[in-house]
A and B are shown apart, each in its own frame.
Chain A
Amino acid sequence: MKLEVIKSYTLAILVGISLILSISLWSYSPNDDLLDEEQLLDPSELDLGGTEKTKKAIVQPSQIIFSKNKFQQSYFGFANPNDRIKLYNDMTSWVLYNFRAVDGNGRPNNDLLVELIYPEELPMEIIPNLFTVNNQDNFGIQENLSFQRVYITFSESTNSLTFIFLSTDGKTQLRADVNNTQKYEVLDNYIKNLTGLEEYIKLEDREYPVYLPIEPKMTYYTWTTYEPANEANIIKNALFPYPKEVVENRTEENITWYQDGTRAMQVFEHELSLEFIDPQEEMFVDPMNTIELLDKGIAEINGYKGWLHDYHLEDVNRMNNLITYQMHYKGYPVFNPDNLATIEQRLVNNELAEHRQPIYKIYTTASENYVLETGLDVINHLKNTNSLYNISEIQDIRVGYRLSYHVPADQNAYISLTPTWYIKVNDIWQQVLLEDDIHREEVS
């Protein structure tokens, strides 16, 4: 009898040991201190309330020009830039067949021509990211070629279109066809009936001309903004690796700093914009190509749904890995010298080294009619002998909005968007000061 009791106890103990060993086997894992703290944050603490964007949506041409060269040269562009964006978005879904590289001899001279002009040189490798390419395997192109202008020619006999990506040196044309009658008719219809288009004019005769609308119809807008809420905190959560350890403080100069001893983020006056800096050792920097820069840069902002406004790629500076995205409103670019209309990112060795971004959110919008100087006025002014500008140095001209703001005491910011002509000289956008403006500036 006694033996049976001992056996029972032994059995119980053995069962217990087997349980303990099984549990320890299953749950045994080495200490992992590198637990990603971001995962412990609630998703709402990493959501700025904007959108996520793709390269396709960010990289947009700044102009689409329809030109008729048969009897007399004439140029047309969209009266409403939103129509341009709509057409371009449609184009990116057109299937491009039969890619082939042809020795180029500058721009094509067809009677009817559609010209897409991008704000920045883009590597040819990016084409499959922007357009729909049939059978990507055959998309063989020489490396180190880039393009800024794309021409679309019409083939009436076959009702097909040919896309010509012209290399920036003008020596290579990368051609592809669109065999789709429906799409052919879309462009054909625009160029023949000019529906929704307005007339454009060339600044001067050049191989790659700058076009500007003759009579742009513009509206003056004002925005009121929401009271700053949690925006800076959300971006802090997204950009700092250990957001819970970030120390926030306000200096005597009323600047809010977020810092973890290695990085810092500064929120500017009235919480309209901020700047993040993560200093990197830059003695040896691995060069990144445009596609890598864009992928990494866009992913960073998508990570916290940070596109609060509509942004298009404006510039990729490969010299210092700086990407600039320009705010657009109603399809027009918005300009502000204090970084209230641009997002800037600098990447070093695949890390975000600098980031600047506006963080205000638009609450209400009001509009008024506005009469802007015509394109002819601007050309006359620029060509005037007293002009401040050398016409051959002008890289681009755009109609856009000049963003200015004021913040009344104890209220949220008011932002106004004044239609304005801008020119790009030495890679810098500046407002065209017409004589009236100069006069006004002098008076004030």
Chain B
Amino acid sequence: MQWGQIKTLFILSFLLLDIYLLVLVIQKQEDLSLLESIANEQEQDFLKQEEIIIPEKLPESLPEEPLITTQQKIFSEEEIEDIKERDNQEIEVVNRNFIIALLEEAVAIPENATSEAIAQLVTSAVYLGNEYSFDHWDQDRNIIVFFQKKNERPVYYNQNGVIIAYLNANNEIVAYTQSYLGEVEASNEEKTLIKPLSAIRILYDSNLLFAKDEVTEVEIGYHTFLPLDSGRQVLVPTWKIRINDSHNRLVNAYEQKVIPVNDDFVNIVLYSSIDNVRAIKGKEEFKKKMLDTITSKLQ
């Protein structure tokens, strides 16, 4: 009988202990979620204080993803034949990796064409054009720049995955050059990506985003610091943030680090294109026309 009473006593005391512990656990969880929400609010605070406008709908936060690598594609004989089989184009492939094309008839870009319409126009006419996305129309030089896509995301500023379409004074495409990145390989390790808002915050902290600025576009893509011509390139997920519809900033989405934008990118591509044109054997007339076109775009 005594043992039974002791048991009852134990049951009661353990019940009390369990209730106490449970309360502690719940409190701890609440504290943490509260901290998180405060952090979130604070993250947003600077936007209000500095009157910085951001798009209403930012891209969703992204799950963990692996590091990917790629390499400049070396075309096979069959692929080169396929590349050259295009109507209304005279095409040369240099070093089995660089496509140079002159249009026999210039293609006019309709006035007030949207970027989608321009993209459609060019990508339908080039080899694997659906793998490229429109980046910008450089009105000073009158060229249109397209970046190649990997995993449905553009690879920013990579001279080994870019199309440049050359326009004449009448806004007609007269030629283009194209490079192509090959298959991607994913590594085993996965990493979390920073949220778009954190990327905007880093720009603000780095004095690259000011009061009353407007973030006009936020987009995820890839970037590499070292676009090697031979050997593998590491593509890092990168937020491209467009400010005041006038200039872009890149933020490494793995590390919260601003990536300096290479302002000289177009010139680098143009110079390497010139070298590639010069490497063509024979075809003097083609070379001359192409060189004239490209050199007129140098600044």
- A and B from one complex: yes
Contact call A264/B18, Cβ cutoff below 8 A: no
A253 to B207, CA, bound (A): 39
> Assuming A22-B21, A30-B32, A261-B223, is B260 touching A250 (CB within 8 A)?
no
Q: Is B186 an interface residue (CB 8 A)?
A: no
A119 to B231, CA, bound (A): 43
Which one, B78-86, B250-258, B289-297, is touching chain A? B250-258
Q: Shortest beta-carbon distance, A187 to chain B, in Å?
A: 51
Residues of B within 8 A of A30 (CB): 32
Q: Is B24 an interface residue (CB 8 A)?
A: yes
Q: Is B279 an interface residue (CB 8 A)?
A: no
Contact call B255/A33, Cβ cutoff below 8 A: no
Q: Contact check: which of A7, A247, A283 meets B69 at CB < 8 Å?
A: A247
A-contact bits for B204-215, CB 8 A (1 contact / 0 none): 001110000000
Contact call B230/A261, Cβ cutoff below 8 A: no
> Assuming A25-B25, A244-B189, is B225 touching A264 (CB within 8 A)?
yes
Within 8 A of A (CB), among B1-51: 4, 7-8, 10-11, 14-15, 17-18, 21-22, 24-25, 28-29, 32
Q: Is B232 an interface residue (CB 8 A)?
A: yes
Q: Is B67 an interface residue (CB 8 A)?
A: yes
Within 8 A of B (CB), among A269-305: 277, 279-284
Residues of B within 8 A of A14 (CB): 11, 14-15, 18
Contact call A15/B14, Cβ cutoff below 8 A: yes
A259 to B69, CA, bound (A): 11
> Assuming A24-B25, A284-B206, is B7 touching A11 (CB within 8 A)?
yes
> Assuming A25-B21, A283-B208, is B234 touching A251 (CB within 8 A)?
no
Residues of B within 8 A of A24 (CB): 25
Task: Count A-B contacts at CB 8 Å.
Answer: 107
Contact call B260/A282, Cβ cutoff below 8 A: yes
Q: Is A4 an interface residue (CB 8 A)?
A: yes
Q: Contact check: which of A25, A251, A282 meets B24 at CB < 8 Å?
A: A25
B residues at A contact (CB < 8 Å)? 4, 7-8, 10-11, 14-15, 17-18, 21-22, 24-25, 28-29, 32, 67, 69, 187, 189, 191-192, 206-208, 223-226, 228-236, 252, 255, 257-260
A residues at B contact (CB < 8 Å)? 3-4, 7-8, 10-11, 14-15, 17-18, 21-22, 24-25, 28, 30, 33, 241, 244-245, 247, 249-253, 257, 259-264, 277, 279-284
Q: Which 9 residue pairs are nearest across A and B when measured between Cβ atoms?
A: A261-B234, A261-B236, A21-B21, A14-B14, A284-B207, A249-B231, A281-B258, A252-B230, A264-B226
Further pairs besides A21-B21, A21-B24, A33-B191: 14, Cβ < 8 Å = A3-B4, A4-B4, A7-B7, A11-B7, A14-B11, A18-B14, A25-B24, A250-B231, A251-B228, A257-B226, A257-B228, A261-B234, A261-B236, A262-B252
